[in-house]
């Protein structure tokens, strides 16, 4: 399971790297979204898939699952959700103002 997850994360990271390096605003945003999902999966995988009971108080079990990574990922997902929304709006406004979504046309010049 761990190996499979690591492979999946590797694929997600490479695809998102490719997307971020392309020439289109929207693809860069998609790349960022995928990259953040990859990071969340990595957090889940590295904290271990221990097979234990849910961490409820007052129950008898020999092993409990670690609740912390899930709390962390939840926080991280909320943050990346907000940032993604902001990025999409920013990308849209940039596209409207410059009338292009090609990043090489948004490079700017030294003399301005």
Partner 1 sequence: MNNLLLVPVLAPFLIGTILILFKSYPTVQRWISAVTALVMLGFSFYITYVVYVDGIQTVELGGWAPPFGIVLVADLFASLMVILSSIVGVVCLFFAFQTISKEREKFYFYPFYMYLLAGVHGAFLTGDLFNLFVFFEVMLIASYILIVHGGTKYQLRESFKYVVINVFASIFFIVGIAYIYGITGTLNMADIAVRVAEIEQTGVLNAIAVLFLVVFGMKGALFPLYFWLPNSYFGPPSAIAALFGGLLTKVGIYAIIRTFTLIFVHDPGFTHNLILILAGGTMFFGVLGAVAQFDFKRILSFHIISQVGYMALGLGLYSQLAIAGAIYYIAHHIIVKSALFLFCGATEKITGTTDLKKMSGLLKSYPVLGWLFLVSAISLAGIPPLSGFFSKFALILNGIEQERYFIVFISLIVGLLTLFSMMKIFIYVFWGEESLEEKDKNKPIMPLLAPILPLVALTIILGIGAEPIFAFSMEVANQLLEPSEYINSVLKE
Residue 64's beta-bridge partner residues? Answer: 53
Question: 65 with 52: CB under 8 angstroms?
Answer: yes
Q: Which of residues 45-104 bind partner 1 (CB under 8 A)?
A: 45-48, 68-69, 72, 75-76, 79-80, 82-83, 86-87, 90-91, 93-94, 97-98
- DSSP single-letter state for residue 62: S
H helix runs in the chain, sequence order: 2-20, 25-46, 68-98
Query: Residue numbers of the site for partner 1 (CB under 8 A)?
Result: 20, 25, 28, 32, 35-36, 39-40, 42-43, 45-48, 68-69, 72, 75-76, 79-80, 82-83, 86-87, 90-91, 93-94, 97-98, 106, 108, 112
């Amino acid at each position: 399971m761990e190996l499979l997850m690591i492979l999946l994360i590797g694929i997600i990271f490479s695809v998102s790297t490719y997307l971020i390096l392309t020439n289109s605003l929207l693809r860069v945003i998609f790349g960022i979204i995928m990259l953040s999902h990859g990071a969340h999966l990595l957090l889940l995988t590295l904290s271990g898939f221990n097979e234990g009971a849910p961490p409820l108080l007052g129950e008898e079990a020999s092993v409990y699952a670690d609740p912390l990574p899930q709390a962390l990922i939840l926080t991280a997902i909320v943050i990346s959700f907000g940032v993604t929304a902001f990025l999409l709006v920013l990308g849209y406004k940039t596209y409207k103002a410059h009338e292009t979504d090609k990043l090489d046309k948004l490079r700017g010049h030294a003399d301005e």
